[in-house]
Amino acid sequence: MPPFVTEAVILHSADFLERDRLITFYGDERGKMRGVAKGAKRSRRRFGANLELLAHVVVRGFERPGAALVRVDGADLIDYYQGVREGVMGFARACYVAEWIAGCTAERHPLPGLLPLLLRVLQLLDAGKGGEGLLRIFEAKVLDLAGYRPRLDRCVVCQGSLKGPRVDFLVERGGVICADCAEREGGGVRVSMGTILALDEARRVGLDRIHRLALTPLAVREGRALLRAFYTYHVGRKLRSVSFLEALEKGVIPTQGKGEGARG
């Protein structure tokens, strides 16, 4: 069994059998992995909070060729993101981000740039700087990094250039359709050209600048419907955390505490 050491973020963590914990983590060099930490359910002394959801850690373990689950022997904590855990909205957004990554990545298939993006988003949420606009930027970037790449710069049908002010997004075709093609083929989700341009910019913005990219409320709202529909259709998974997050975003469930309700 070859040993491994990898910097990672815990994407899912649950009690497993009588004494163990089953965790899913995304590691820089190894991509998403699932593993069992023996005795971790009872022995918090050995693992502490290091296997909690969203913890940034260095995971040590063994990988058996052909086995689905790795053995997790230890995890050294780099960041616990206490600020994220103290607020309902920040925590809900961080859980949503973790679920999004867990859903659109394949096991043992590392995606260059994905861990730095995840860490940056968690840092911003931890500092109370992550509004809903940050989620749109994250979503646009992750879809690109994971290879789904929605077509936003040209018509998916005729490859022609796009003219605003409003265009259609065809979820099944994976991109924007021009007015002429929409007339022939039927339209899709109608969005403003500004939203398409904003999402196109969002996926290209550097990590050092993502907190400065301000999306308009319209782009945040239209982008939410568009990107979640794209994810559900192309990734083929329903996001479980989305109903709770949407209830918070729409104010159906009130939020309390510091740095919450930040939008934009």
Q: Which DSSP string do the residues of 214-237 spell out, in sequence order? A: PPPHHHHHHHHHHHHHHHHHHT--
- Closest approach, Cβ 157 to Zn ion, in A, equals 4
Query: What is d(CA 110, CA 112) in angstroms, rounded to the nearest whole number?
Result: 6
- As beta bridge partners, residue 27 has 8, 31
Tell me whether residue 126 or residue 168 sits nearer to Zn ion (CB atom). 168
- Closest approach, Cβ 175 to Zn ion, in A, equals 10
Tell me whether residue 78 or residue 189 sits nearer to Zn ion (CB atom). 189
Is-cis flag, bond preceding 165, omega within 30? yes
Tokens of 34: 């699932």
The single residue listed with the structure tokens 């559900």 is 232
CB atoms within 10 A of CB 161: 9
Tell me whether residue 37 or residue 176 sits nearer to Zn ion (CB atom). 176
- Closest approach, Cβ 234 to Zn ion, in A, equals 20
Helix (H) or strand (E) holding 27: strand 20-27
What residue ranges bind Zn ion (CB under 5 A)? 155, 157-158, 160, 178, 181
- Closest approach, Cβ 153 to Zn ion, in A, equals 12
Tell me whether residue 92 or residue 178 sits nearer to Zn ion (CB atom). 178
Edge-to-edge strands of the sheet including 175-177? 175-177, 166-170, 189-192
- Closest approach, Cβ 107 to Zn ion, in A, equals 37
Query: What is d(CA 178, CA 182) in angstroms, rounded to the nearest whole number?
Result: 6
Tell me whether residue 107 or residue 183 sits nearer to Zn ion (CB atom). 183
The single residue listed with the structure tokens 């790449």 is 149
Tell me whether residue 178 or residue 242 sits nearer to Zn ion (CB atom). 178
